[in-house]
A and B are shown apart, each in its own frame.
Chain A
Amino acid sequence: MKHFFVFILAFILFMFPVSAQEDLLDLLEEMEEETTDYTTATFKSLRVINGHSIEIPAPGVLQFVISHRFGRVNGGAYEFFGLDDANMRMGFQYGMTPWLSLGVGRSSIAKTYDGLIKIKLLRQRTGVKSFPFTLTWVSGMAINGLRFTDPNRDNLFSSRMAFTHQLLIARKMSDGFSIQLSPSLVHRNLVANIEAENDVWSIGLAARQKLSGSLAINAEYYYLLPGYTADNFQSSLSIGIDLETGGHVFQIMLSNSGAMTENLFIANTTGKWSAGDIRIGFAINRVFTLKKQ
């Protein structure tokens, strides 16, 4: 009799499962395999403000940027607060592979031609194989295009050249906040005087805070390591806002640096925020998908 009751109880329990549909969803969840999730959108553009971010264009994507930096705001009303004096850079960057991109550009300041190679070494990821940072290497070359001031001197082409190497290390801390460290080396083949450094070392620090789905605020600081450059020039400090639409990222910024290539904004900034040597700038980034994925 005891056995009979146990049998009936078990039979009833097994025949009428509770919330059958919920069980089905749980069944699917049990089937799930552990995946690795790669972090995306650490920054919304290829440059945080002046300096590079860890982002590169996706393969087959061409990014075009037009940037302007105006004159110093403390130029006053006569200079229309710096807006009368504008310099411009236009650049293209193309995604060759998921980890490699190449770029070219031209600035009106010193008629500079620049080229760069950007390699994504490691991606931040969570899940089965997790890694806390995204690491990108950038190497760039800038060529001063101005005519030599003294044609009678022995002027070498190599004197026009400057090189920048950076290891960018970034972490997306949360959905809205990202931070980046950018140890950098700027090498100038020719410098102004005998005491000036050919090699200028600096550490960049950048941060981004999302304000809404399309709006973010950024800050960037390139700290010059002690030396002649740090004694005679200013560290570049910038603050800016990103506005993202479908295919464009619009950036507006304030900076004490007037140029947009590393050899100039890292190693050659003379403006002081405290003196009002602040320049308004903007950039328009546009994405063209040349090859669909």
Chain B
Amino acid sequence: MKKLLPVLGLLICVSSLQAQKLIVRNGHIWFYSQAPLEDIEAHNHQVTSVIDMASGNMAFAVLMKAFQFEKALMQEHFNEKYIESDKYPKASFKGSISNFKELDLSKDGTYDVKVIGELSIHGVSKEVQADGKLIISEGKLSATSTFPLRVADYEIKIPAVVRDNIAKIVDVHLEMDYGAMEK
């Protein structure tokens, strides 16, 4: 009995760590810039993300060099001149779903959520708020969101020469499939 109590205690602690964290390694983020001279679109299929199903906390990590453009020169300029991805290889987000406690994710459906947190791009961190949707289908969770991003907020400098080629506010979209939730 003397030995049983600490063993039991340890077992209870270990089991409490199983608050489920859903992880995705190939999430999809893309952005679209519309400007008078040129439209720019790039897709990243290597976004990693984790959502803590106990608290509604989430985190994203985005490798900037994984953004694919249709034009090789655009991709080179994006990395070398604007994002400076040698200095700032990743963008990240850490935050939480503000209305997570009110959601009943045991039922299939689409749930509107508000996500609040800190977004870091190009070495600059900003508090952001975005609307998104959590979609439960057959016990699988996925998330989508669309939000605007002001390029200048992250000290990304657009030279005057290409001012009409790059929008000041870029539309960012994300689509993540987190997979099956535990019962």
Q: Which residues of B contact A13 (CB under 8 A)?
A: 13
B95 at the binding interface (Cβ < 8 Å): yes
Is the CB–CB distance between A58 and B49 below 8 Å?
Answer: no
Q: How far is the CB of B3 from chain A (nearest CB, A)?
A: 8
A6 within 8 A of B: yes
Q: Please tell me if the beta carbons of A61 and B73 are within 8 angstroms of each other in the complex.
A: yes
Partner of B59, one of A24, A61, A246, A289: A24
Q: Which residue of A lies closest to B49 (CB)?
A: A28
**Closest CB of chain B to A216's CB: distance in Å?**
11
Contact of B50 among A22, A27, A213 (CB under 8 A): A27
Is B157 engaged at the interface, CB distance under 8 Å to the other chain? yes
**Once the chains bind, are A289 and B117 in contact (CB under 8 Å)?**
no
Pairwise interchain contact A246-B165, C-beta atoms closer than 8 A: yes
Q: Are A20 and B52 in contact (CB under 8 A)?
A: yes
Interface pair B5/A3, CB less than 8 Å apart: yes
What are 7 A-B pairs at a CB distance below 8 A? A11-B12, A15-B16, A32-B61, A41-B80, A245-B162, A246-B77, A289-B71
Known interface pairs A22-B94, A37-B65, A61-B72. Does A11 touch B9 (Cβ–Cβ under 8 Å)? Answer: yes
- CB pair A7–B6 under 8 Å, yes or no, is yes
Residue B86, interface by CB 8 Å: yes
| Inter-subunit contact B6/A6 (CB<8 Å) | yes
**CB-defined contacts of B65 to chain A, threshold 8 Å:** 37
Of B5, B21, B25, which is within 8 A of A4 by CB? Answer: B5
A40 pairs with B21, CB closer than 8 A: no
Interface size on A, residues (CB 8 A): 36
Residue A195 interfacial (CB < 8 Å): no
Whether B152 is near chain A, meaning CB under 8 Å from some CB there, is: no
A31 at the interface (CB under 8 A from B): yes
Determine whether the beta carbon of B92 is less than 8 Å from that of A25. Answer: yes
**Residue-wise interface mask of B (58-71) relative to A, using a CB-CB cutoff of 8 A (1 in contact, 0 not):** 11110001001111
Contacts of A32 in B (CB 8 A): 48, 61
Which of B14, B58, B61 has the most C-beta atoms of chain A within 10 angstroms of its own C-beta? B61
Q: Give the Cβ gap from A96 to chain B, nearest Cβ, in Å.
A: 14
**Among A22, A24, A246, which residue has its beta carbon within 8 angstroms of that of B161?**
A246
Q: How far is the CA of A11 from the CA of B8 in the complex (A)?
A: 11
A292 to B29, CA, bound (A): 20
Which chain A residues (32-71) contact chain B, with CB distance < 8 Å? 32, 37, 40-41, 58-61
Q: Is the interface of B mostly helix, strand, loop or mixed?
A: mixed
Q: Is A214 an interface residue (CB 8 A)?
A: yes
Residue with the highest number of chain B CB atoms closer than 10 Å, among A15, A28, A60: A28
B10→A10 contact, CB < 8 A:
yes
How distant is the Cα of A28 from the Cα of B90 in the complex, in angstroms?
A: 12
Residue B79 CB within 8 A of the other chain: yes
In Å, the complex CA distance between A211 and B55 comes to: 48
B76:A40 contact, CB within 8 angstroms: yes
Across the interface, do B73 and A58 meet the contact criterion of CB distance under 8 Å? yes
Residue of A nearest to B86 (CB): A175
Contacts of A29 in B (CB 8 A): 61
User: Which single residue of chain B is at the shortest CB-CB distance from A37?
Assistant: B65
Contact partners of A3 in chain B: CB under 8 A: 2, 5-6, 9
A264-293 interface with B by 8 A CB criterion:
287, 289, 292-293
For residue B174, CB closer than 8 A to chain A, the reply is no
Which residue of chain A is the closest to B120 with respect to CB atoms? A25
B87 touches A (CB below 8 Å): yes
- On whether the beta carbons of A214 and B9 are closer than 8 Å, the reply is no
Which residues of chain B have C-beta atoms less than 8 A from A61's C-beta?
Answer: 72-73
Q: Which residue of A lies closest to B118 (CB)?
A: A21
Closest 3 CB pairs of A and B: A7-B9, A58-B72, A24-B59
A247 interfacial contact with B, CB 8 Å = yes
Q: Are B5 and A21 in contact (CB under 8 A)?
A: no
**Residue among A6, A37, A40 with the highest chain B CB neighbour number at 10 A:** A40
Contact B9 A10 (CB under 8 A): yes
Tell me, rounded to whole Å, the shortest Cβ–Cβ distance linking A11 to chain B: 6
Does any Cβ of A come within 8 Å of B98's Cβ?
no
Contact with A along B81-102 (1 / 0, CB 8 A): 1001011000010111000000
Determine the distance from Cα of A10 to Cα of B80 in the docked complex, in whole angstroms: 49
Instruction: A124 to B73: give the CA distance in the assembly, Å.
Output: 19
Query: In the complex the two chains form, what is the Cα distance from A3 to B2 in whole Å?
Result: 8
In contact, B9 and A289 (Cβ under 8 angstroms) = no
